[in-house]
Amino acid sequence: MRIIPAIDIIDGKCVRLLQGDYAQKTVYNENPLDVAKSFEDAGLTHLHLIDLDGAKAGKVISWEVVERIVSNTNLHVDFGGGIKTQAEIERLLAIGVTQVNIGSMAVTEPLKILDWLKAFGAEKIILSADVKNESISISGWQEDASISIMSFIKEYIQKGITHVTCTDIGTDGMMTGPNVELYKKLLLSFPTLHLIASGGVSSVDDLHELKQIGVDGVIVGKAIYEGRISLDELINL
């Protein structure tokens, strides 16, 4: 299981939101590159980088932050937030981003996702499934798409998607533990899926439980910033 620390960006700063609420924002560091370097220095190899300004605006905003992190670390960066065009994906991959997360567009313009899968391959595209009560949310978690997580993933597996990040909005930033039952359900239904769990991780015990059920990776955010899990503990996993 890959441990993937998260950096969320607003106004060029490293922040965390509570349940995706932009009004409930905590700034943890003015310089996301310093945070990324601390992860790399600890021995972590992956990074989940989200442009929250971009998610809200519907286009990538934080280009400078992305470029600084990719060019100054050797982290495998998966990036998301506001991606709407093939040109943006081409630019992100060209500067060294390993994978891109596609969320809202997968709901609103599924034919484009098919084109992108053909253009870039399934290894470069992560389907970002943000879920509240097993229903997909889009536009930076601001809008309920009225699509069930099960039908959403099933449809995209049939189209060739192999990597999915599932974020449970109800647990995100709450430090109450991940929605393990949801991830179990997804893995039982789609056993070939490379599933990345996101939301609610608050302890090393949570990570052990997710590893036991077979997720491919887990995104850890607030638990790191709040000191609930040390970088040494993450490395030992």
Q: Yes or no: say if 106 and 83 are a contact pair by the CB < 8 Å rule.
A: no
Q: What is the mean pLDDT of the chain?
A: 92
Q: Determine whether 8 is an active site residue.
A: yes
**For position 50, what pLDDT does the model report?**
94
Closest CA to 95 of 116, 123, 64: 64
Res. 3 pLDDT band, cuts 50 70 90: very high
**Geometric angle at alpha carbon 115, from 109 and 121, rounded to 5°:** 125
Q: Is the pLDDT of residue 190 over 60?
A: yes
Mean pLDDT check: name the lowest of 13-27, 30-44, 68-82, 175-189: 13-27
Q: Domains for the chain: give ranges and CATH numbers.
A: 2-236 (3.20.20.70)
Q: What is the pLDDT of residues 108-137, one digit of tens each?
A: 999 999 999 999 999 999 999 989 888 887
For the stretch 130-152, pLDDT in tens is: 898 888 877 655 555 578 999 99
Mean pLDDT within 175-182: 88
pLDDT at 56: 87
> What integer pLDDT is reported at residue 197 of this predicted model?
97
The confidence score (pLDDT) of residue 225 equals 93
* pLDDT at residue 144 in the model: 59
Would you state the pLDDT for residue 143? 57
Which DSSP string corresponds to the chain?
-EEEEEEEEETTEEEEEETTEEEEEEEEES-HHHHHHHHHHHT--EEEEEEHHHHHHTS---HHHHHHHHHH---EEEEESS---HHHHHHHHHHT--EEEE-HHHHH-HHHHHHHHHHH-GGGEEEEEEEETTEEEETTTTEEEEEEHHHHHHHHHHTT--EEEEEETTTTTT-S---HHHHHHHHHH-TT-EEEEES---SHHHHHHHHHHT-SEEEE-HHHHTTSS-HHHHHH-
Residue tagged 């997804």 (tokens) = 186
**Under 8 Å between Cβ of 184 and 213:** yes
In this model, does residue 160 exceed pLDDT 60? Answer: yes
Which of 13-22, 119-128, 189-198 comes out lowest in average pLDDT? Answer: 13-22
Cβ atoms 48, 5 nearer than 8 A: yes
Is the pLDDT at 165 greater than 70? The verdict is: yes
Looking at residue 173, what is its pLDDT?
64
The residue annotated as part of the active site, out of 51, 78, 130, 172, is 130
pLDDT above 70 as % of the chain: 95
Q: Active-site residue among 8, 78, 172, 206?
A: 8
